[in-house]
């Protein structure tokens, strides 16, 4: 892992879970990490309920745009976190892969999205501690 690890978050539409995760890692990791997010079948805009849920945390993801998953994005990442995208993500040796099983916020109201957001934050805090420790040892 490099001194400044790159983390890629992937979900199907790149409109909810992966955008919330990327928002948290950018906020909590600051300039210590590079953050990417993408989707295997991206939507045309971010889920407005995900935007609302993150705004409650003081994190603005409203200006983000869903992006299509590319082989290059995976290749340049040290850590790839998938969230329900199945086998759509290419596998490269030497990378850390995790699949986070999280409910999809698509079509759900804010009361259902808050617990998803909170679980993402918990996982991001744990991941950040791990990757920064690994980068410091590298």
> Which residues are marked as active site?
11, 85, 89
CB 83 within 8 A of CB 7: no
E strands of the chain, at which residues?
6-11, 34-39, 79-83, 96-99
Q: Enter the DSSP assignment of 121.
A: H
User: 121: exposed, middle or buried (C-beta count within 10 Å: 0-12, 13-18, 19+)?
Assistant: buried
- Give the separation between CA 91 and CA 80, rounded to whole angstroms: 9
């Amino acid at each position: 892992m490099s001194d400044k690890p790159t983390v890629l978050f992937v979900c199907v539409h790149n409109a909810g879970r992966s955008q919330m995760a990327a928002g948290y890692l950018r906020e909590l990791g600051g300039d210590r990490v590079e953050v990417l997010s993408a989707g295997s079948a991206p939507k045309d805009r971010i889920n407005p309920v995900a935007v609302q849920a993150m705004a409650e945390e003081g994190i603005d993801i409203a200006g983000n745009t869903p992006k299509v998953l590319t082989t290059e994005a995976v290749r340049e990442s040290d850590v790839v976190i998938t969230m329900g995208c199945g086998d759509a993500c290419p596998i490269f040796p030497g990378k850390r892969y995790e699949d986070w099983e999280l409910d999809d916020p698509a079509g759900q109201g804010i009361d259902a999205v808050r617990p998803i957001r909170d679980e993402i934050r918990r996982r991001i805090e744990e991941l950040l501690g791990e990757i920064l420790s690994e980068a410091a040892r590298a």
